[in-house]
Amino acid sequence: MTQAPQTASGDSLDALATTGPRGRGKPSLALCVLLCAAANATAAVLLLLFGRPLLPQQETLRLWSTGFGAASNSQHLTDPYSFMHAVFGAGLCLFLDRLKPDWPVRSKLAVAVLGSVLWEIVENTPMVIDLFNASNQPGAYSGDTILNALSDTGFVMLGFLAARFVGWRGTLLLALLVEVALSATIGDGFVLGILAVFGLF
């Protein structure tokens, strides 16, 4: 059974991810870091254009917050949802490992960062903010601060790197623990969140 040929764009992407723009060796670490930094800077600018503040507007910035009022929810540096972003990053790591096993880790990490940045932009659009508030999720959500959004992407990176060390079994175990812990403590998580959005919880 012959394998279907890849498209030219797919071949170009694979070549860029595995050998870099110069076609010699894997992409440099500096290039991947620059790409991640540029993606986060772009997200910050777009969120600013969306009217999102850099820091909490009604409270003093905290390293950790469990508040679910509009003044606290996703406004501070870290919160319970940070763990969900870490699980998301770990899941992206496993997915990319299976989809693109020949890509170097730095290229996969850059893709994971781009995926996180894209979600942060979509999450802070008025339509998605209204969708979250219309569902039966805990508290009130007015969008992320720019600092919180950047922190979320940082946790995606941490989750990605953690998955590299613990493997798929360890990642699955940690994901289940996070899901159970968040469901029990804040009444939210991946499963409950999806059910709430679709009006099933």
Reduced to 3 states (helix: H, G, I; strand: E, B; else coil), residue 143 is coil
Predicted pLDDT of residue 105: 94
Q: What is the pLDDT of residues 82-95, one digit of tens each?
A: 999 999 999 999 99
Band (pLDDT 50/70/90 cuts) for residue 196 is confident
Rounded Cα gap, residues 195 and 182, in angstroms: 15
Letter string b/e over residues 128-144, b meaning 16 or more CB atoms within 10 A of that residue's CB: bbeebeebebebebbbb
Report the run of H or E that residue 139 belongs to, with start and end. Answer: none
Rounded Cα gap, residues 76 and 52, in angstroms: 13
To the nearest whole number, what is the mean pLDDT of the chain?
89
Q: Which residue has the higher pLDDT, 15 or 116?
A: 116
Rounded Cα gap, residues 113 and 158, in angstroms: 11
Q: What is the pLDDT of residues 144-173, one digit of tens each?
A: 999 999 999 999 999 999 999 999 999 999
pLDDT above 50 (res 132): yes
17-22 long-range CB contacts below 8 Å, 24 or more apart?
17/100, 17/103, 17/104, 17/107, 17/111, 18/102, 18/103, 18/104, 18/107
Predicted pLDDT of residue 118: 97
- Dihedral over alpha carbons 190, 196, 198, 200 (to 10 degrees): 110
Predicted pLDDT of residue 62: 96
Q: Are 77 and 146 a contacting pair, CB within 8 Å?
A: no
DSSP-derived secondary structure for 22-80: TTSSSPPHHHHHHHHHHHHHHHHHHHHHTT--SS-SSS---SB----STTTTTTSSB-T
Q: What is the pLDDT of residues 5-35, one digit of tens each?
A: 555 556 676 776 777 666 566 778 888 899 9
Band (pLDDT 50/70/90 cuts) for residue 68 is confident
